[in-house]
Structure 1
Amino acid sequence: MAMIANVSREVPDPGQAAWVSANDKPTAPQGSKPVTGDAAERLLKGGVMQLPARDRRRIKDLSHNDFEPQQELANVFSDIRRKPAPAPELAQSATGVMSNMNFDIEIRKRYNAPLAIESGEFPDSNVVSGRMLPLCYEAGLASGHSPEAPQLLTVAVETFIKENLATIFSRTRSNGPGDAGNAGFGVGINWIQTAQYSKQLHLEENLAQNGRLTRDKNGLLPVEAKAASERGPLTVADLRLAIEVGETGFSHFPALRTQILQGYREGELENYNEYSYVSGHETTDQADEYVPALVNGEADAPVLNGMGEPMDVDTTLEWEGAEDGDIDLLDNVLDQILVGT
């Protein structure tokens, strides 16, 4: 225990203590040479001289090192009892704004702005910034987002939507504008062109180059304008066909992809019989088969299972050997039982 107590004590300051008198300090005689006659010292010097020059230089550097093994050993026992250093305090200018800000109120504003599907307009940088800033606070980013982040996100979303639409149109439409069928849709996205359309397009392009034919205000030739007017709008069936053909970017949205592929097709519910029966099967309105012909008459039509009604609840009950008075008496007994309960 004494050894542990001595090791855990702090190392004394180097040099002489303050209470030592000046007369008690040892003084070395001036001009005296160190004693070199010790046999152990000569043996040590001989061993050191036999070492390589690199090792001797390393030993010499260690002698000038400030490392103290006693202090390191004392730190091993004293670190467990040492108090943790206090966290550095931030300047008042750095904490003045954040301390007065209520993040809960700012986080609640993340869904105040209407969605693009509700407003019908593509979000601009200000709308994106108003949505990103509360999300940054919710994620723990007290400094918010950088000024370039909303603009970058707006451009990325616009590019993503345009690329997906161009891919879907190229797989579901034909006779696109331009000689290669990719005018305005980017390089590498070509629409299918029919032989008649391609022939008429080359003819009108030659006439336009010779000045014998003019383009409309949208820069389209007559054959291109006619094909654009006959082209129908994009539907869910087109999205389904494009996804079945190949990847269109909807893999990033599994819920939307599943809804398109596994949902009802257009007109499937309106024309359910066409999808449920084989070709040539004649169906009738099933509701008319079970409605009686007369309102107050007896229904001759069978029920769903093809059998008549086994219980006739609309007629008077008759028992063999009983009269009307007996039935009334039984009814009175039942009424008394119900009243008593």
Structure 2
Amino acid sequence: MADVELRELVKTYPGAATRATDDVSLSIADGEFMVLLGPSGCGKTTLLRAVAGLELPDSGQVVIGGRDVTYLEPRHRNLSMVFQSYAVFPHKKVRDNIGFGLKVRGVPAAEVDRKVAWAAEMLQLSDYLDRYPAKLSGGQRQRVAVARAIVVESDVLLMDEPLSNLDALLRLSFRADLKKLVNDLGRTTIYVTHDQIEALSLGDRVAVMREGRVSQVDVPTKVYDDPADEFVGGFLGSPPMNFLSGTVSENGHGLVLDLADQHVPVPRELADYRGRELDLGVRAEALRVLPDGEAPGASLRCTVDVYEPLGSSVLLTTDLAGHRVKIQTPASFRAEPGDELRVELPGEQCRWYDPETKLLLEVS
């Protein structure tokens, strides 16, 4: 096992208007499960392929275990990789698919059999070793691909959206199995996905990417609770973070954000924004609908546009001072389009962003 260091990686494809990866630096600790998360075209797969040796960067370095492998061929990097499309051999039985990499390396047959049996047991494939891939479900074929990757005992395990071809229920089940497997292996893992739920549930840390750059790297709870910029807040979360824009002024109670004829208290640390625009970010679950008659000073009026029962909760789409605001409520909550509500905006749940840079502003 080994740590992975990406140093100022730049990659531009011929004819492309922008860089696929733009001066990316990222440190991944030995044994860490790092998730690269972002929308299509953000550069996450290019970054993974640069680590694998399938793409050569225009500049920068890939260092694994203290060894510069930037221009080494993939077979000299001691990596294993799971592809999105399974990439299992249709003409080989499951046991031969799993053991293929070991045989290529010249591992003795007895050792191949032992490791194949071990991997098959870990991934619940022991009863399918003599079947061909055509006789397996999509989830089982993906398990074969994972088993083939882990038997090699490489320094680093790479995974490129391995669950994206599975249906929702199977993805949920396999995600839990995969997390346990990686925890048991303790192997440095880099996992690419565009699915935020996968990223938050699987990763020790999450690197959120946008347009070839890393916007934020942190533990899942920190990335979700304290998005480093408005892109991260708007990308992460279902629903994503709400953003409201207004002008900072001062009344008899202190600084406030003016939202039409409504006001939200602003921390004193942001006094430099007096008379200027400021953006407020708040999660849907942080907004509390107040019962009739309860209306503390920090409450805001909004009008229900859409009522969506989701089973375990209800999602409201509302109009709040001209802003489209999502509110998550308990499943028992009832409302109709056109209803006017008052909502409480807890100060500790508010995140403040500069409207020009879109970056998070630090407040105590």
Q: When the two structures are superposed, what TM-score results if normalisation uses the length of structure 2?
A: 0.20
Q: When the two structures are superposed, what TM-score results if normalisation uses the length of structure 1?
A: 0.21
Taking CA–CA contacts closer than 8 Å with sequence separation of 6 or more, which of the two structures ends up with the larger relative contact order? 2
Structure 1 or 2: larger helix share?
1
